[in-house]
Amino acid sequence: MYRDTVVSGLFYPSDKNKIISFIESNKTIETAQEAKMIIVPHAGYVFSGATAVKTISRIKLPKNIILLGPNHTGTGGRIAVYPGGKWSCPLGDVPVNENMVEKLIDKGFESDQPAHVKEHSLEVQLPILKYFRDDLNIVPIAFKGLGFDDCRNAGKVLKDLVDETDSMIVVSSDFNHFEDIETTNEKDFDAINRILDLDSKGLYDTVLSKNISMCGIIPTVVALESLEKKENLKASLVEHTTSAETSGDASQVVGYAGIIIK
């Protein structure tokens, strides 16, 4: 099974050397550290790629990445795990860890290729992840339409998988969409502060009650629910930006954030 690129040349360069140049111009010089999970944005690299690079470059990536993102297309199941094979990437194909996929399927996750065929949120992370960990394996999962209890149950399944394997969770999510910059900044930090508090229920309720169009709310809540001993963990914001910094249009912006939990 082979998942070809969908947004190569659109959201990020199709040329390997251009990707490498972009990453090397934005990566941090800090010593990479281990983390439990990170949240990175998935807009075009011109808008949010620098934030993703700055975040991922701070992390010592394990070989196996459980890659969670929203299902923008609506195709496929609610918890859709790509079954196996490889994903195309300009820096080299990335294998799916089929043993880890099987463990998730045994626990009730859905083996679902169609949900991933046109979905961009996971694909845009691969070149950056591949740059920093050449022998990368992935477990791609797209989410849609889960209530909080479903998120909690999915988080427990992922916790068991992380405990059994050399892996970490990478969540792909943008924050508020297409409101003015003042509104977006306010809404984004309403959500970001709940994440920094590791408050999954507070995040879920805040996003719903304040109408925050954070596309990756479900995978973020699932990931937070996979964490244990939260009192020993620390979340930090790498940076928050908006599309206005690139477009110059402050009237209709999208918010982006890089967050590390370790």
In DSSP terms, which residues pair with 260 in a beta bridge? 38, 236
In DSSP terms, which residues pair with 179 in a beta bridge? 253
Q: Enumerate the H helices of 88-236 as residue ranges.
A: 98-106, 114-117, 126-132, 148-164, 181-196, 200-209, 217-225
* Domain assignments of the chain as residue spans, ordered by start: 2-261
Question: How much of the chain, in percent, has pLDDT values that exceed 70?
Answer: 100
The torsion angles phi and psi of 81, rounded to 5 degrees, stand at -100, 130
Query: Residues 1-35: pLDDT tens digits?
Result: 999 999 999 999 999 999 999 999 999 988 899 99
pLDDT of residue 238: 98
Cβ(45)–Cβ(22) below 8 Å: yes
Taking the C-alpha atoms of 40, 43, 47 and 51 in order, what is their torsion angle to the nearest 10 degrees? 10
Query: Residues 158-204: pLDDT tens digits?
Result: 999 999 998 999 999 999 999 999 999 999 999 999 999 999 999 99
* Distance in angstroms (rounded) separating the CA atoms of residues 34 and 62: 8
Query: Residues 41-79: pLDDT tens digits?
Result: 999 999 999 999 999 999 999 999 999 999 999 999 999
248 Rama class: left (phi>0) / alpha (psi -120 to 50) / beta: left
pLDDT of residue 31: 86
pLDDT of residue 185: 98
pLDDT of residue 25: 98
pLDDT averaged over every residue in the chain:
97
pLDDT of residue 150: 98
pLDDT of residue 54: 98
pLDDT of residue 229: 84
pLDDT of residue 29: 85
Taking the C-alpha atoms of 170, 175, 181 and 185 in order, what is their torsion angle to the nearest 10 degrees? -80
pLDDT of residue 42: 98
Cβ(192)–Cβ(259) below 8 Å: yes
Task: Reply yes or no on whether the pLDDT at 239 is more than 90.
Answer: yes
* Distance in angstroms (rounded) separating the CA atoms of residues 143 and 141: 7
- Structure tokens, 47: 């808008």
If one looks up domain 2-261 in CATH, what number appears?
A: 3.40.830.10
Question: How much of the chain, in percent, has pLDDT values that exceed 90?
Answer: 97
* Distance in angstroms (rounded) separating the CA atoms of residues 131 and 71: 25
pTM for the full model?
Answer: 0.97
